[in-house]
């Protein structure tokens, strides 16, 4: 039976909404400021840039988490302890688990036809909590999260570790489904896996615009 590896954010769940809501709650918890669209966009850009540095091994997890708030707090001229802000943000984002339309329908369709797994870059505690809140944790046999694996997508070692833990070292038996060409598809293809990109852009690989389209492919 083939194995499907699902990314979480931007594929199963709306991370943009989760990040936005958690950031606003964090700032409002410590200040009278209501972040505007520019603040939210800047935090999102900072968060992604520094997470990519963390994924490459250029920052520790603590450095990444503290630095993202140090930068946005400097921009917004907010005084405070960035570590405390980060703890509040993590607590808030753990509770953000909005699924895209059709996710449950597709998982019900795939369950039993394929072995389903999670393959996500992120913090294990946060991601597992969000899967549980969304009531989809039980659909997956195992959860491969960079925080535990020791490598982050697109590092080929992430995917090699996944195959080792699944107990099937044939990459042709795997399909990686995600929203990022760089992290999800390129990394998977480097070890010989197939990939399906969740995007609205036309690219040189199998793509879907909505999660429900998987039922027409798989």
> 3-14+98-216: which CATH architecture?
3-Layer(aba) Sandwich (3.40)
Domain chopping of the chain, boundaries: 3-14+98-216, 15-93
Give per-residue pLDDT as tens, 181-214.
Answer: 988 999 999 999 999 998 766 555 677 888 888 8
Cα–Cα distances in angstroms (integers) from residue 211 to residues 85, 101, 131, 176, 216, in the given order: 34, 7, 17, 13, 10
Identify the residue with better confidence: 112 or 209.
Answer: 112
| Per-residue model confidence (pLDDT) at position 200 | 61
Reply yes or no on whether the pLDDT at 173 is more than 80.
yes
The mean pLDDT of the chain is 93
Mean pLDDT of 52-62: 86
Is the pLDDT assigned to residue 120 strictly greater than 80? Answer: yes
Cα 187 to Cα 157: distance, rounded to the nearest angstrom: 9
- The class (CATH top level) of 15-93 is mainly alpha
């Amino acid at each position: 039976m083939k194995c499907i590896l699902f990314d979480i954010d931007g594929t199963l769940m709306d991370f943009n909404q989760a990040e936005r809501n958690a950031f606003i709650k964090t700032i409002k918890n410590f200040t009278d400021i209501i972040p505007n669209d520019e603040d939210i966009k800047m935090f999102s850009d900072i968060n992604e840039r520094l997470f990519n540095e963390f994924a490459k091994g250029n920052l520790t997890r603590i450095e990444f988490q503290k630095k993202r708030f140090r930068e946005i707090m400097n921009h917004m001229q907010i005084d405070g302890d960035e570590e405390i802000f980060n703890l509040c943000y993590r607590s808030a984002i753990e509770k953000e688990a909005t699924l895209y339309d059709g996710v449950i329908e597709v998982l019900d369709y795939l369950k039993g036809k394929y072995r389903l797994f999670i393959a996500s870059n992120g913090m294990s505690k946060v991601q597992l909590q969000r899967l549980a809140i969304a009531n989809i944790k039980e659909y997956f046999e195992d959860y491969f999260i960079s925080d535990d694996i020791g490598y982050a997508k697109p590092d080929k070692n992430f995917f090699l570790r996944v195959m080792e833990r699944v107990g099937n070292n044939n990459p042709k038996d795997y399909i990686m489904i995600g929203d990022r060409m760089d992290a999800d598809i390129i990394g998977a293809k480097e070890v010989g896996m197939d990939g399906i990109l969740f995007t609205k852009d036309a690219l040189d690989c199998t793509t879907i615009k909505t999660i429900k389209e998987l039922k027409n492919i798989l």
